[in-house]
Amino acid sequence: ARHRVWIDGAAITLSYSELALLAYLVLHPGVLHTRSGLIEALFSTSAGEQIGHRTVDVYLQRLRRRLDPYGDIIRTVRGRGYRLDPHPDLRVVG
């Protein structure tokens, strides 16, 4: 309930995984993250279930869509990974 995302004054709804991914990227701006690194940091399960590398792509795609028109703050570095690039209109509170 404490974690909220606002875009241009309007609250947006994110799934638990989308919010976790966004929070992780916001806490590590400008850092290049591989798919494997994101899976390990965010999606490791104690039940031994495997999360596919493409699952990260799906969450990132959905997150970018929900952050429209600011979805481009999440950059794809082809063949290497993903990073959050700071944007002058982006503000993290708390």
At residue 41, the pLDDT reads 86
Measured in degrees and rounded to the nearest 5, phi and psi for residue 32 equal -80, 125
At residue 77, the pLDDT reads 94
| Claim: this prediction has a pTM higher than 0.85 | no
Q: What angle do CA 28, 16, 45 make, to 5 degrees?
A: 85
Between 37 and 2, the more confident residue is 37
Give the CATH class of 5-84.
mainly alpha
The Cα–Cα gap between 48 and 13 comes to 29
At residue 84, the pLDDT reads 95
Residue holding tokens 């994101």?
Answer: 38
Tally the C-alpha atoms within 13 A of residue 25's C-alpha that lie toward its C-beta.
29
Tens digit of each residue's pLDDT (9 = 90 or more) over 24-67: 999 999 999 999 999 888 876 555 566 777 888 899 999 999 99
What residue spans define the domains of the chain? 5-84
The Cα–Cα gap between 78 and 94 comes to 32
